[in-house]
Amino acid sequence: MGSMTSCWACETELRPEWKFCVHCGVPVETEAAATPRVRAASPLALFGWIFAGIGLALAIALVVIFLASQ
């Protein structure tokens, strides 16, 4: 059995005979045809970044309001 590689999009372990990833469906690229790719962020990760940004903005606003009231 050949060496196993990972899907560039979802990092699922791939078998050499597969033409498509069984998890996300993207075409499996051979080493000769492989091009550098950027992994897409999951929607859950994007929501996490959005909520983290909102939390940071609220914390900064509270500090500014506190300092302005002094």
| pLDDT tens-digit series, residues 18-65 | 888 898 888 887 654 556 666 677 778 888 899 999 999 999 999 999
> What is the DSSP secondary structure assignment for residue 30, as one 8-state letter?
P
Helix (H, G, I), strand (E, B) or coil at 14: strand
Q: Mark whether 34 and 48 lie in a shared domain.
A: no
CA–CA distance from 9 to each of 12, 31, 46 (Å)? 8, 15, 16
Alpha helix (H) ranges present in 1-70?
43-68
Residue identified by tokens 């996300």 is 24
Candidates 4, 48, 37; CA nearest to 22 is: 4
Number of compact structural domains in the chain: 2
pLDDT of residue 61: 97
Whether residue 2 is found in the same domain as residue 29: yes
Same domain membership, residue 17 and residue 35: yes
Q: Do both 2 and 32 map to the same domain?
A: yes
Residues 26 and 50 occupy one common structural domain: no
Residues 33, 49 within the same domain: no
Expressed as residue numbers, the domain containing 6 is 1-39
